[in-house]
A and B are shown apart, each in its own frame.
Chain A
């Protein structure tokens, strides 16, 4: 029985030690580099409005990433992340317009405030599972606009009138427009935060977070302090979405209670699911979906725009039940298998102890989800389904 400590064998070393060098990361790196190049070039080919839309895609992608950290990686449902988005937006608006603070300082402030609020929300959330947590966050999302309009806070929030936010100025020496500057600023922030999230996922903390999602009891038995991790994840998730909200305030240049209704929270959730839970690039796809598909639906039929949007959502979710990222992963898997058929049956050629550990867990009946983003060894083709079927067959063969 392998012990959990062997989990810490660095994956790269295992790869170098004997297995064939996987082709996956190379392709991935090229794709990332190309995407980055396109992203940097884009604002120079489009005019103001499209740049604004692309900025919004990134902002929504970042907000969805926040939700992804909580729901996709940690398994805590939230139907109310629009509230954190709104909170971040209002922090920025109040700091800039009431206290005259420069826009770049408002981002860490928005993140900090949302982190604290997220932790405070996360504490009682410890007692709630799945559905009930969804309900509470649902109620919070519905109640937020009313709270923002509350006349007791009007001095700060501007009440129903909202607050107009000035567009950030371009630093004097750059020959670009304000829209382009905001685009690059957002791009920079987004890359930074995605890198942070990626690091978090691959670290021990990330694995702990995912372990809590997959099997909370086993995780606790292994010594992971679930309450601490869950609460902190809530905080970090809120931080991400709050920063997205702050950027949103800068892009739209206006915050008002009616901008942050339940519909926003639902949009984030839809974007997350369609993009693919537990996938970082999927968040951007989700952002694209949330921004563009309603417009597409409207151009199809103005009177029935909502219905068309619903039908498109259904088509997408039927075609890609695990979201776009899941679809890409499966497609890439098929492609790899087609080009390099597996040499031997699954379960025998286990190149690294980590794979052995996972294999044994699966054979014992635990469906271990592969941490997303970690390269699949070509030798390891077990899907959780196959392992489960095998396990079931073994169990049913045992005398009752």
Chain B
């Protein structure tokens, strides 16, 4: 029982990592209707910038806020410079741009900051939470921050005009343009927000997995799995999906005999496939109906 509980908690902690990434993924999806394969690398780059600021002596929270703002601007810049010229091209040409971005950021990280793993501080400390060895304060903090960001996003999309405009621009650019929404800037805004969320996620993940250029590679797959499981159109669903994937991965690895440990990635795959077979929009996603 103890083992089960511990694995579930460890799964939740891992799941918080995946959930943060899944949230950024969904954010981009809501803004541009595609998946951004370079999401992880953007988050890693932001975290490296934060690390550099900390190394130069900036206090943690100043560096944190600065990096979030810089990432926001950076995301907008990437969209305007890289993807605006390509938005008439086919989706696969844009895919090449994503891959190129991934490559550039990954290589740049390693060149500037080296490949040795680095520690990244956590504002929450790493003491056991309430004295329990099941979860520590940082992991709890991660879960907390993820939920707060989720609430902010929810409020933004549902409660503000700007959020509504963004959703409209993503779902039906032509009609949105006709009612006066500047679709190009909505897309850029979406990118900026996704980059900012990714930066927050990266800065929370780094203390656990250690900062290095390939930090996000494995996380990205599980993040996608979580986003798909929860529904690509639902931020809340993505977060729940991320947690679920974390728990499933841990429990399957521990308790499924013979294959569990060695085939964890396959299990992620099976999760994705199973969800998509049974309910393609994810558990909380919205089934889209399109006119033919």
Contacts and interface: CB of A to CB of B under 8 A. Distances in A.
A and B are interacting partners: yes
B92 A128 contact: no
Given A266-B99, A273-B95, A313-B100, A139 B268 contact: yes
A43 B246 CA distance: 53
B111 A307 contact: yes
B224 A314 contact: no
B95 A269 contact: yes
Contacts of B272: 135-136, 139
Interface in A304-343: 304-311, 313-314, 317-318, 321-323
B86 A318 contact: yes
A130 B265 CA distance: 22
Interface string B221-262: 100110010001000000000000000000000000011001
A90 to B, nearest CB: 17
A322 B102 CA distance: 21
B179 interface: no
B289 interface: no
A304 B259 contact: no
B259 A140 contact: no
A317 B96 contact: yes
A309 B225 contact: no
Given A311-B104, A321-B93, A127 B280 contact: yes
B255 to A, nearest CB: 18
A304 B89 contact: no
Contacts of B104: 306-307, 310-311
A270 B99 contact: yes
Contacts of B3: none
B97 interface: yes
Contact of A273 (B88, B96, B273): B96
B107 interface: yes
Nearest to B267: A143
Contacts of B262: 146, 149-151
Interface in A136-154: 136, 138-140, 142-143, 146-147, 149-152
Contacts of A304: 107-108, 111
Contacts of B92: 71, 77, 269, 272-273, 277
A322 B224 CA distance: 28
Contact of B280 (A132, A138, A152): A132
A266 B34 CA distance: 17
Given A314-B82, A317-B97, A136 B263 contact: no
Contacts of B189: none
B263 A313 contact: no
Contacts of A135: 35, 224, 228, 272, 276
A338 to B, nearest CB: 25
B106 interface: yes
Contacts of A311: 100, 104
B120 to A, nearest CB: 23
Nearest to B224: A135
Contacts of A323: 93
B90 interface: yes
B277 interface: yes
B285 to A, nearest CB: 11
Interface string B268-283: 1100110011001000
A14 interface: no
A270 B93 CA distance: 9
B101 interface: yes
B131 interface: no
A303 B111 contact: yes
A314 B105 CA distance: 13
B107 A310 contact: yes
Nearest to B274: A124
Nearest to B106: A306
Contacts of A102: none
A309 B105 CA distance: 11
Nearest to A385: B88
Contact of B292 (A139, A143, A217, A314): A217
Contacts of A274: 96
Interface in A67-120: 71, 77
A127 to B, nearest CB: 6
B90 A307 contact: no
Contacts of B258: 152
A249 B248 CA distance: 36
A146 B266 contact: yes
B59 interface: no
Contacts of A139: 221, 224-225, 265, 268-269, 272-273
Contacts of B265: 139, 142-143, 146
B29 to A, nearest CB: 9
B103 interface: yes
Contacts of A151: 262
A142 B218 CA distance: 9
Given A127-B280, A149-B262, A307-B111, A318 B85 contact: yes
A138 B106 CA distance: 19
Interface of A: 71, 77, 124, 127-132, 134-136, 138-140, 142-143, 146-147, 149-152, 217, 266, 269-270, 272-274, 277, 303-311, 313-314, 317-318, 321-323
Q: Considering the complex of A and B, which 5 residue pairs feature the smallest CB-CB distances, nearest first?
A: A306-B107, A310-B103, A310-B104, A321-B89, A310-B100
Given A124-B277, A307-B103, A322-B93, 15 more contacts: A135-B276, A138-B224, A150-B263, A151-B262, A152-B259, A270-B96, A273-B95, A274-B96, A303-B110, A304-B107, A306-B103, A309-B100, A314-B100, A317-B96, A322-B90
22 contacts: A124-B273, A128-B276, A131-B232, A135-B276, A139-B224, A142-B269, A143-B265, A146-B262, A146-B263, A146-B264, A147-B263, A269-B96, A273-B92, A303-B107, A304-B107, A306-B110, A307-B103, A307-B104, A313-B100, A317-B93, A321-B88, A322-B90
